[in-house]
Amino acid sequence: MSALPHDSIPLVFSDEVADALAEGSPVVALESNVITHGLPYPDNAATARKVEAAVRAGGAVPATIAVEGGRIVVGMTDADIDRFAATPGIPKVSSRDMPVVLAQGGMGALTVASSVVAAELAGIPFFSSAGIGGVHRGGEQTMDVSSDLIQFTRSKVAVVCAGAKKILDLGLTLEYLETQCVPVVSYRSDDFPAFYCTSSGFPSPMRLDDDEVIARSIENHWALGNHSSFLITTPVRPADAIDSDEVDAAIDAAMAAAERDGIRGQAITKYLMRAVDAATDGRSAKANMAVLASTAEVGGRLAAAHAEYRRRGGTSQS
């Protein structure tokens, strides 16, 4: 691996990622939080490798990103993945936490928000995640808004995802993105998806079916002077999806139980996700895995189209 400083923040690239970036080949950034705050070892390591394989199947090079030793590691090796997967207690690092964790020199698993920060610093224009954060239910009173949304207003990265989880207020999430002028495009779908549900019940602001048109749209967004993300959603495959009504019923029951038991703040997300998993007899956990892979594959495909568009100098084929 080679270290390339970005001002005072050292970036350490795997050889494969460094070569791909130097050649203008497509690269997709991935979050390391999936490794440390998902399944137990060794299933978490296997999952990270499946997500990377899905990016490769789409035609791009995966770059799972983490923090270690005061550096941002861009492109975790197999040894890195195993070490992070087997080490307990690695903190989840969002964008607000990065300066302190980097200064302390410890290990840190990056979330969506911190991953797009790192991806932009590394010169990687694409990032893929199963689902983004959003405005929490009751957010109009609590001001509980995911840092993912805030970071999208600040980082020039194309984000490919399966929408956001249904435990959030997806209507307010879409309103926030509109207010902040963050483009939201659904890839080959009319609806804004909801993680492992094919639809959130809300129509997408825009639908695009052509890979090159998406690439051109991304470049246009930045050429217009915007220093923000471009959000592309892709729904889970219907065969892997969970019924939306079933998830809604589980969330409603869990919300009532959480209110009764005084569960609030950061604890509510994990509580609701576990409740949905229990209500679906574990099918939501399986669907979660499917979303990770399908989104990563689409991310790889769109990154490849974007790299080809840039290689031709931003011109369409006649």
Q: Is 147 annotated as a binding residue?
A: yes
Q: Is 114 annotated as a binding residue?
A: no
Residue entry with tokens 């695009």: 208
Give the Å distances, CA to CA, from 231 to 6, 49, 94, 179, 317: 25, 24, 19, 14, 25
Question: Which member of 52, 165, 166, 297 is catalytic?
Answer: 165
Question: Which member of 31, 52, 120, 297 is catalytic?
Answer: 31
Q: Is 112 annotated as a binding residue?
A: yes
Q: Is 277 annotated as a binding residue?
A: no
Closest CA to 263 of 178, 167, 182, 160: 167
Please say if 31 is a catalytic residue: yes
Please say if 140 is a catalytic residue: no
3-state per-residue secondary structure call for the chain: CEEEEECCEEEEECHHHHHHHHHCCCEEEEECHHHHCCCCCCHHHHHHHHHHHHHHHHCCEEEEEEEECCEEEECCCHHHHHHHHHCCCCCEECCCCHHHHHHHCCCEEECHHHHHHHHHHHCCCEEECCCECCEECCHHHHCCECHHHHHHCCCCCEEEECEECCCECHHHHHHHHHHCCCCEEEECCCEEEECCEEEEEEECCEEECCHHHHHHHHHHHHHCCCCCCEEEECCCCHHHCCCHHHHHHHHHHHHHHHHHHCCCCCHHHHHHHHHHHHHCCCHHHHHHHHHHHHHHHHHHHHHHHHHHHHHCCCCCCC
Q: Is 32 annotated as a binding residue?
A: no
Residue entry with tokens 């209507």: 171
Binding site, annotated residues for substrate: 92, 112, 146-148
Q: Annotated binding residues for Mn(2+), as ranges?
A: 144
Catalogue the active-site residues.
Answer: 31, 165
